[in-house]
A and B are shown apart, each in its own frame.
Chain A
Amino acid sequence: MSARVTDVPYPVLNADEVARLRERLFELVSARFGGRLSPDQVNEVREGIEAQIAVAEKLHGFPLTNADEPAFVLDLQAGVGP
């Protein structure tokens, strides 16, 4: 009922990998906004990416099982759409 999908822990990125990921993600954000970011926006995006990576690493370190469902479900009633 609550099987882990793997016993191998979520791979932790080392500092070099984080730095590379940070740059790639920044390029993606920049490209998505057509390179029109102001210097202030660039700073905010860089800070945001850094925080996002750190937060994701923490979440990846939290063990879950295959049975752990997200905290949102459709609440269906007979004859009524979602």
Chain B
Amino acid sequence: MSSTDVAFLSVRELGRLLRARELSPVELTRIYLERLESVGRPLNAVVAITAEIGLQEAALAEAELARGLDRGPLHGIPYGVKDIIATAGVPTTWGAAPFKYQRIDDDATVVRRLREAGAVLVAKLATIELAGGMGYDNPAASFTGPTANPWDVSTWTSGSSSGPSAAVAAGTVAFAIGSDTSGSIILPAAWTGTAGLRATYGLVSRSGAMALCWTLDRLGPMCRTADDCGLVLEAIAGPDPRDPSSVRGTYRHRLRPRCTGFRFGLISGGSEGVEAEVADNFDSAVEILRQVGTVEEIELPPLPYNEVIDTISSAEAYSAFDDFIAAGRTSELDARKAAGHRLAGIVLPAHDYIRAQRIRRRIADAMNDLLADVDALIAPTVGVVASGLHDDFEYMLPGAFPRPLNFASCLAGVPAISVPIGFGRERLPTGAMLVGRALGEADVLDAARALETEIGWGEHRPPLGVPAKAAAQ
């Protein structure tokens, strides 16, 4: 098996090689370090390669496994984190020029948990500056430049977890950790043909991650398979006194996934306005899901999802960066839009923000009612395939981004995963999202595993084209 073949294996498959001693953690780490440099950097997926940390952690994993200490499925597996997540010893830039040299002394909880699980940190990965929180309408909204999509380097990954999605899709890390406020894991996963899980609100500690919107922010795994998302989630989930939003639940990945008896709720009108290929792929995915369960059409109640999420985001993002905005420093950001986009938030009345949060509870109740009778709600993740790497896009592009199931599940705090369901226009990936009950990750992941097994997405690899093109333009 070539080093490239190894690089695209799943976490589960890599674990098997490590335990069979066909590959050592240090050898595996060197493969990914080389690919981060030769493939990840030209894609603009990388902020920093943490070679020293990675090789130390890999050597430790190698020694531990050799003496019979097995920390579980992530032991010896190299990964990267979106660079809004703090890691001691290396800058945590939040993707933004004004924070390029920022150092945070403590590791984020998620990094500590991954270290305890024996995983190997090899990279800080690109993000839209401040996770897109100050607004952006062009992929170049990051001091590391626009992140190219490995499936076609003239297209974008989507954001804000641009680096994690590209790095995973291009086989430069085994898995990554992304963050999501209103679609930042789910949307890049769909455009890069990867699996991205936005876990239940509070299930994964955000301690040490940049705050953008306290009542919406979530962290989650970005992987090449839904199965891998489950393996990573098991390691990072669980209560954390350092995060007040932390819930008491944990996650145990099922050794034998549930394969039948699912009940799916197909969002009525969920394919309206999407590209023909996206709709076709989604219809095929629904047919696959019918083989493992029942599919019933369900109406999302007509609630003001966009307006609620917009108001909450405006108020909380302003507050999270109040000092920065007041100091006039938004002009130092790369996105043209960012200099002024959030400033109107200073006259957003408190009662409107609270009204949005009151309506949000109604939305959460409505989602809980819908989810009481099904294991997962399903819809296309994004209505279109990846847009151009250097193209402006309309903020909250109609037909593409604000699919109501995405916003409804963000607001309800319930888990959502996007998994690849086939190629669309220009042989670019398309995705379906599955949304489950709070702390119902096991069923959502099992259904997603059934879907990806039948689709056989793992056979495909991005062509990568000429990665240098991304940086050169």
Chain A residues in the interface with B (C-beta under 8 A): 25, 28-29, 32-33, 36-38, 40-45, 48-49, 51-52, 55-56, 58-60, 62, 64, 68-72, 75, 82
Contact = CB atoms under 8 A, between A and B. Distances in A.
Nearest to B304: A58
A70 B314 CA distance: 16
Contacts of B304: 58-59, 62
Contact of A55 (B310, B358, B364): B310
Interface stretch (B80-88, B266-274, B337-345, B450-458): B337-345
A45 B344 contact: yes
A71 B345 CA distance: 20
B294 interface: no
Contact of A48 (B342, B354, B356, B411): B342
B331 A38 contact: yes
Closest 7 CB pairs of A and B: A44-B340, A48-B344, A41-B340, A70-B357, A71-B360, A71-B361, A55-B307
B343 A64 contact: no
A70 B343 contact: no
Given A55-B311, A64-B359, A40 B345 contact: no
Interface in B329-357: 331, 336-337, 339-349, 352, 354-357
B190 to A, nearest CB: 26
Contact of B308 (A25, A36, A59, A69): A59
B357 A72 contact: yes
Contacts of A45: 340, 343-344
Question: What interface size band does chain B fall in?
Answer: 35 or more
Contact of B347 (A25, A62, A71): A25
A48 B455 CA distance: 43
B215 interface: yes
B339 A41 contact: yes
Contacts of A25: 344, 347
Interface in B215-237: 215
A69 B364 CA distance: 12
B328 interface: yes
Contact of A49 (B307, B339, B344): B344
B311 A29 contact: no
Nearest to B349: A56
Most chain A CB inside 10 Å of its own CB: which residue of B311, B336, B347, B364: B347
Given A41-B331, A44-B135, A70-B358, 16 more contacts: A25-B344, A28-B347, A29-B343, A40-B336, A44-B343, A48-B340, A49-B347, A52-B347, A59-B311, A59-B359, A64-B359, A64-B362, A70-B357, A70-B361, A71-B215, A71-B357
Contacts of B358: 64, 68-71
A48 B313 CA distance: 13
Contacts of A42: 340
A52 B352 CA distance: 10
Contacts of B344: 25, 29, 44-45, 48-49, 51-52
A68 B352 contact: no
B205 to A, nearest CB: 15
B244 interface: yes
A48 B311 CA distance: 11
A68 B362 contact: yes
Contacts of A62: 303-304, 355, 359
Given A38-B331, A56-B352, A48 B308 contact: no
10 contacts: A48-B340, A48-B344, A59-B307, A59-B359, A62-B355, A64-B355, A64-B362, A70-B358, A71-B360, A82-B244
